[in-house]
């Protein structure tokens, strides 16, 4: 166990905190320019030396579950700073208008659901909502792309999706470069969205479309924060194990009114949530038998109905 017993020990700690490849005393959120500092879209190999990659490589080399006390201190200080920055963010943006979108990280840019999420997020952003996700690829990227394209025409949005289709998966060469190309062609200065990725899943690149990025080392705190901050409700799009975890964690918060209220849980994709991953009938059954209480559930294939459910909650007309 490391203890600070003299000035030499203190100097050793200070030097370590200065030498890590991330800023331990930061009090601001990231954006794409800072997170991907050093990445050049025309040079795919530059990704291996950008800021985000350097931090991830350090994270892995020290151990994702490290026992190094000074590294733990550095990560804790960094994540504390991100929390401070999140508080500042919500002093400027109404937390009651924060909508979360959960779904699969493997969703391809060429999938019809990707475009649906883009259009939904674009519309909600234009209605004054702040979109929130785990900040990764797939459904998360679609959400932030929609927010990024807010205020633009349907044709421009369609063009942006088409540009991204050159690299459908985050595993494909050009995935990040095509995103930056879209951002360059269609700059965004008015609307905002919040992505909350983690270096624990650093093999999945963070979407640069999120205008504000709260990237954490500690994933459990980050996951709980996403669900907690989505005051205005969460839209669940098709996903797998991670999405299932989020559904039931959210259901517990709503059941116990952990923060004094229950928010909408909107499931987009009837066939998926009834047949492929039959979570919705299970939740309905648990509500009907009283095992779960206070859940505001809805299931739909219609983007209009998703928007209506969220607006109804905002108006206070909850069933």
User: In the chain, which residues have pLDDT < 50?
Assistant: 318-319
- The per-residue pLDDT for 261 is 92
What percent of the chain shows pLDDT beyond 90? 92
Model confidence pLDDT, tens digit, residues 252-279: 999 999 999 999 999 999 999 999 999 9
For 54-109, write each residue's pLDDT tens digit.
999 999 999 999 999 999 999 999 999 999 999 999 999 999 999 999 999 999 99
Report the C-alpha gap between 50 and 34 in whole angstroms: 9
Q: How confident is the model at residue 10, as a pLDDT?
A: 79
pLDDT of residue 3: 62
pTM: 0.95
Rounded distance between C-alpha atoms, residue 253 and residue 118, angstroms: 27
The string of DSSP letters for the chain reads -----SHHHHHHHHHHHHHSSS-TT--S-B-HHHHTTT-BTTBGGGGGGSHHHHHHHHHHHH-TT---HHHHHHHHHHHHHHHHHHHHHHHHS-GGGEEEEE--TT--TTSHHHHHHHHHHHHHHHTT-EEEE-S-STHHHHHHHHHHTTTS-HHHHHHHHHHHTTS-STTSTTHHHHHHHHHHHS--SS--EEE--BGGGTTSPPPTT-SEE--BS-HHHHHHHHHHH-TT-EEE-S--HHHHHHHHHHHHHHHTTTTSS--EEEEE-HHIIIIIS-HHHHHHHHHHTTSS-S-EEEEES-HHHHHHHHHHHHHT---
């Amino acid at each position: 166990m490391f203890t600070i017993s003299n000035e030499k020990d203190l100097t050793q700690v200070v030097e370590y905190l200065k030498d890590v490849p991330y800023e331990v005393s930061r009090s601001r959120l990231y954006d794409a320019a800072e997170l991907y500092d050093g990445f050049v879209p025309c040079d795919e190999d530059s990704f291996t030396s950008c800021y985000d990659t350097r931090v991830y490589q350090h994270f892995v080399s020290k151990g994702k579950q490290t026992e190094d006390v000074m590294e733990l201190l550095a990560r804790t200080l960094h994540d504390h700073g991100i929390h401070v920055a999140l508080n500042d963010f919500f002093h400027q943006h109404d937390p009651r208008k924060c909508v979360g979108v959960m779904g699969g990280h493997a969703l391809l840019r060429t999938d019809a659901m990707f475009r649906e999420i883009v259009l939904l997020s674009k519309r909600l952003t234009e209605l004054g909502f702040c979109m929130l996700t785990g900040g990764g690829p797939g459904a998360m990227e679609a959400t932030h792309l929609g927010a990024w394209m807010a205020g633009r025409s349907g044709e421009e949005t369609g063009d942006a999706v088409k540009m991204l289709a050159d690299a459908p998966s985050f595993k494909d060469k050009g995935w990040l470069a095509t995103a930056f190309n879209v951002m360059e062609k269609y700059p965004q200065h008015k609307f905002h969205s919040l992505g909350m990725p983690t270096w624990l899943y650093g093999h999945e690149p963070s979407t640069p479309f999120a205008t504000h990025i709260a990237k954490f080392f500690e994933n459990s705190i980050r996951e709980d924060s996403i669900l907690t901050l989505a005051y205005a409700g969460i839209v669940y799009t098709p996903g797998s194990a991670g999405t299932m975890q989020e559904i039931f964690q959210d259901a517990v918060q709503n059941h116990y009114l952990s923060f004094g209220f229950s928010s909408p849980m909107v499931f987009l994709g009837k066939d998926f949530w009834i047949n492929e991953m039959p979570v919705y009938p299970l939740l309905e059954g648990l509500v009907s038998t009283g095992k779960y209480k206070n859940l505001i559930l809805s299931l739909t294939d219609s983007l209009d109905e998703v928007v209506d459910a969220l607006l109804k909650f905002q108006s206070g007309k909850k069933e």
